[in-house]
Every structure is written in C-alpha cells, then in structure tokens.
Amino acid sequence: MDSNPLVSVVTPFYNTREYLAECIESVLRQTYTNWEYILVNNCSTDGSEEIAQTYVNRFPDKIRLVHNGSFLSHLKNYNYALSLISPASKYCKMVQADDWIFPECLKSMVELAEEHPRVGIVAAYELEGDHPSLGGLPYPSPEVPGRDICRLYFLKYIPLFGTPTSVLMRSEFVRSRNPSFYDEKYAPFSDFFVCLEGLRTWNFGFVHQVLTFSRRDNESTLSKIRPYSFELFCHVAKLIAYGRYYLSEEEYRAYLKGAEHQYFFFLGQSALQGREAKFWDFHRERLASINYHLTFSFMAKWILIVLLDWAGNPKRTCEYLWPRRNRLFEAGSRFLGTIRRNFLRKQAPGNTKSVPVAESTGTGRS
C-alpha cells in the first residue's frame, strides 16, 4: 500500500468565469497534498482562461493549464482532459468547473481506496445545491461488490454515483478506457454508464461524509433536454446495456418491460399533445442507437393504450384535462400534424424491417 499516492485532479472548463475560482480554491484547500491539477480550457471567451492562468502563475509546480486548439464537444473535452493525467498517478478525481470539493475529500477517498485494493470507484455523500444526496448504503460500507451496487440501482432505483465530481476512480481504470472514457452515445448520463461498466470488474467504496458539492442552479445540458424526459430513455438504455450483467433473466425481462412501458406511454401522451418535430427527431435518434424504431404502427399502438387508460380512469382523466381544456383543440390539430409529419412521411415503401418494441420476443429489441 502506497502511503501517499499521486492523485490527478482534472477540471475541463468552458466559459465558467462565475464559478471557476471557487472550484480551483477548493482543490488548493485539500488536506491531502500529493496531487497534480490539470485545467483544460475549451476555447473560453468569458475570461475563464485569465482566472486559470492566475492560479498557474501562483502554483506552477502543482497546476497545469492546457488549451484546446479548437472547440470540442462537452464529452470530447472531458475525455481529452482525462487523457492528460500523469502516468504516475494512482487515482483520478474529476472536479467539474461549476462544482467544488470539501477539504477532506481527497484524503478520505484515497484512504478508503488504499485500504481496499479491489475498490475502483469511491463515492461519498454529495451536497446537491442545498441538500445532501447519494444516500442508500448502510454505515459503514467501505467496500461493496460492484454487482451488488448495480443491482441496488436496477432493482430499487438507488443511484450512488452522482456526478463526475462525486467520485474518485483508480487511474488504472481511467487509462483502460482512454482516449474515449465517456461514451458520447449516452450523453448527458455517460458518467453513470462508465460506473456501470467499471463495476463489472471493480468493487465500490463509500465514505459516509459530505465531500463534494454539485451545483444545480446554473444552465446546463441537462436542463435543456429535461422537457424531453430523456431519463426515461436512459433507463431503458441502461437496462439493455447492463441489465443482463447484474440481473437474472427473469428480473431483466420484468424490469425492461416496466421501463419500456413507462417510456412509450410518455411518447403516446406526447403524440396526443402534438409535440414538435424536434422532439420526435430527438427520440427517434436515441431509440435508433439501441435498435428501436419509431414507426406509425408502433405509435398508433401506444396512443391507443394511452386513450384506453384515460377511458378506464375517467376521474383522473378529467382532473388532468379540465385545466387544459383551452388547449385541447389546438393540441388536436397539432396531433394530426405530428402524425402526418413525423410518422407517415418518415416511411418509404419497403425501407424498414422495424418491429414494434412491445411486440418483440422478450428482449424489447427489434
């Protein structure tokens, strides 16, 4: 056991002038001292670069500032930053530019990982805005099999990974996935998929202290896609990608069926609300990435299921529709336009072999 292993701390940033100094200061306040700090500037234009350079000038032996030659997507910037960690580092800690970490963060996480060599991912309670999160494990839980942690998520929906800021990872694991540590297909929840992948091999450690802060009051990629209920798709995608590793076949089929129903019921409701073409392009693209197909027959089935549900629950339906009565006629017109534009015209004769998801033979895939 190395008593003082090197930790590579990484902060990619783009136009985060309002928060960047607080983020950097939190790393400088760490009680653990053997760390390097890599700041990656993704062509910022708001003065963030100047803030970062000020700290580099003050701590040239600890902080390194790297400038991207051209603007990168969010995840490509993160992946590039992770590819820069020192070959000598044993652990890697991402601190997102609008987050910060408590002074004992590195010390507490490294101590746990050093005491438990099979732990590849360490998490702790996270302060999300003004309330703590990531609870769910009994005290103490210094080492839990990776399979048990993932089963806890799939069976009881208890997520313990939080954000990239929430976890410390072994650099060995990070290097094994470079240069594409995060998979863009799963953005903006790629960090969660990485943990599901890592815990196939490594165990999970948890420190029962609040060690990280994650901001929730700034504009983010997540807030922009929230109206699309992207988390419903991601739950289906997580089950398809990793459900069979962590669940029995019976559990997998049952939970996938439930996740599909929740997601496709939402799509049926959205069709009746006449959602815009951009909404359907968004979901069509995501579904295609996991071999599902939005077709007219598939949507007709789920629209019918929604209508039957409404008919079978008249009181709930009236409570839902009455406050929205002034929008019903407008929604009806949009609904007809939605079906015509997004489903009927999307199908060229003989160009698809799609099978509606709910009619497949158990896996939910076509």
The residue with greater pLDDT, 336 or 206, is: 206
Closest to 39 measured CA to CA, from 8, 5, 71, 3: 8
Is residue 1 domain-resident? no
The structural domain count of the chain equals 2
The residue with greater pLDDT, 340 or 34, is: 34
- When pLDDT is cut at 50, 70 and 90, the band that residue 267 belongs to is very high
Same domain, yes or no: 203 and 179: yes
Backbone φ and ψ for 187, nearest 5 degrees, come out as: -60, 140
The residue with greater pLDDT, 228 or 219, is: 228
Is residue 96 domain-resident? yes
Q: Given this model, what pLDDT does residue 323 score? A: 64
Same domain, yes or no: 143 and 25: yes
Q: Given this model, what pLDDT does residue 357 score? A: 40
In whole angstroms, give the CA distance from residue 159 to residue 135. Answer: 8
Q: Among 218, 249, 270, which residue terminates a domain?
A: 218
Same domain, yes or no: 145 and 244: no
Same domain, yes or no: 32 and 77: yes
Of 204-218, 291-305, 323-337, the one with minimum mean pLDDT is 323-337
Question: Is the pLDDT assigned to residue 308 strictly greater than 50?
Answer: yes
- When pLDDT is cut at 50, 70 and 90, the band that residue 236 belongs to is very high
Of 22-26, 75-79, 331-335, the one with minimum mean pLDDT is 331-335
In whole angstroms, give the CA distance from residue 16 to residue 18. Answer: 5
The type of residue at 208 is: H
Average pLDDT over residues 255-263: 97
Average pLDDT over residues 171-192: 91
- When pLDDT is cut at 50, 70 and 90, the band that residue 348 belongs to is very low
In whole angstroms, give the CA distance from residue 65 to residue 37. Answer: 9
Q: Given this model, what pLDDT does residue 220 score? A: 55
Is residue 366 domain-resident? no
Q: Given this model, what pLDDT does residue 327 score? A: 56
**Following DSSP, what letter does each residue of 43-66 receive, concatenated?**
S--SSHHHHHHHHHHH-TTTEEEE
Same domain, yes or no: 96 and 49: yes
Is residue 260 domain-resident? yes
The residue with greater pLDDT, 68 or 307, is: 68
Of 98-102, 291-295, 330-334, the one with minimum mean pLDDT is 330-334
Q: Given this model, what pLDDT does residue 334 score? A: 60
The contacts of residue 113 (CB under 8 Å, 6+ apart) are 91, 119, 122, 168, 170, 205
User: Per mean pLDDT, which of 5-9, 153-157, 159-163, 185-189 is the most reliable?
Assistant: 5-9
Tens-digit pLDDT profile for residues 28-77: 999 999 999 999 999 999 999 999 999 999 999 999 999 999 999 999 99
Q: Among 218, 234, 249, which residue terminates a domain?
A: 218
- When pLDDT is cut at 50, 70 and 90, the band that residue 356 belongs to is very low
Q: Given this model, what pLDDT does residue 10 score? A: 98
Same domain, yes or no: 210 and 228: no
Is-contact 37 9, C-beta < 8 A?
Answer: yes
Average pLDDT of the chain is 88
Give the Cβ contact number of residue 202 at 10 Å: 19
In whole angstroms, give the CA distance from residue 269 to residue 82. Answer: 41
Tens-digit pLDDT profile for residues 142-169: 999 999 999 999 999 998 988 999 999 9
Could you tell me what percent of the chain has a pLDDT over 70?
83
Residue keyed to tokens 């939190």 = 26
Q: Given this model, what pLDDT does residue 310 score? A: 82
The contacts of residue 12 (CB under 8 Å, 6+ apart) are 40, 42, 77, 78, 80, 81, 96, 97
Is-contact 289 193, C-beta < 8 A?
Answer: no
Same domain, yes or no: 248 and 133: no
Is residue 183 domain-resident? yes
Same domain, yes or no: 190 and 228: no
Helix or strand holding residue 71 (H, E):
none
Same domain, yes or no: 292 and 336: yes
Q: Given this model, what pLDDT does residue 359 score? A: 37
The CATH number covering residue 77 comes to 3.90.550.10
What domain range includes position 347? 224-359
Average pLDDT over residues 244-258: 97
